[in-house]
Amino acid sequence: DTAVSQTPKYLVTQMGNDKSIKCEQNLGHDTMYWYKQDSKKFLKIMFSYNNKELIINETVPNRFSPKSPDKAHLNLHINSLELGDSAVYFCASSQFGLAGGRLGNEQFFGPGTRLTVL
Amino acid sequence: AQSVSQHNHHVILSEAASLELGCNYSYGGTVNLFWYVQYPGQHLQLLLKYFSGDPLVKGIKGFEAEFIKSKFSFNLRKPSVQWSDTAEYFCAVKGTGNQFYFGTGTSLTVIP
């Protein structure tokens, strides 16, 4: 069983289009994240949801909108795609817990979605 | 704001050489610390983690890391690298709350 799954794995599209990436986790975690990894491998947090509520919204264009229908799913919708949106997008999940405790430990990552905007 | 620094951006080693990758963070409170590995074309996988107790933690594939609280460091080590260790390595820190802070990554190339 795949713990964190993303679809699609590859996405090639034209500038100006609207696209969505889906993420599902079957770990029972209550927190999910979206990261963007650029060509230099730099990993940037975009969004974090805890129990379907947005708790982190880093500085990303408002063309990006996360949607969490339930705590096992966190989808990313992107409007008016631009060339600079080309990257690999990773979904991740974790269970909330206080630092220093056994809970709230590692994030589990999905396989990534390679987005190419032409 | 919290930050994580990985000083080595690119490391090239021959097989059997020893490895140490540096990681420093800025956060004054209790932290959980992680090292992730990303093999070419793959997603991030956990190598090891520290949350409390013994500051020397052992992970998979012969990796270990030492948490030195006074230095705000969590360096990754492996006594003898293999070609299959070629990958990108990320240090991450989690303080209170749900946010994880990642370093910029270190690219390791192991030459056979």
**pLDDT, tens digit, 9 for 90 and up, residues B42-61:** 999 999 999 888 999 999 99
Average of pLDDT values for B67-75? Answer: 94
CB pairs under 8 A between A and B: 68
B43–A33 CB contact, under 8 Å: no
- Flag the least confident range among A101-105, B32-36, B52-56, B72-76: A101-105
A99–B90 CB contact, under 8 Å: no
A111–B42 CB contact, under 8 Å: yes
Place of tokens 């979904």: A91
The two structure tokens encoding residue A22? 């889906």
B98–A56 CB contact, under 8 Å: yes
Residue among A58, A56, A60, A40 at smallest CA distance from A48: A56
B107–A43 CB contact, under 8 Å: no
Give the pLDDT of residue B61. Answer: 94
Interface of A with B (CB under 8 A): 31, 33, 41-43, 45, 48, 50, 55-56, 90, 92, 94, 96, 98-102, 104-112
Amino acid at A113: T
- Which of A51, A106, A114 to probe the B interface (max B CBs under 10 A)? A106
Give the pLDDT of residue B27. Answer: 80
Instruction: Report helix, strand or coil for A99.
Output: coil
Concatenated DSSP letters of chain B? --EEE---SEEEEETT--EEE--EEE-SS--EEEEEEE-TTS-EEEEEEE-SS-SEEE-GGG-EEEEEGGGTEEEEEESS--GGG-EEEEEEEE-SSS-EEE---EEEEEE-
CB atoms within 10 A of CB B95: 19
A100–B100 CB contact, under 8 Å: no
Min CA distance, B103 vs chain A (Å)?
8
Range among A45-59, B80-94, B95-109 with highest mean pLDDT value: B80-94
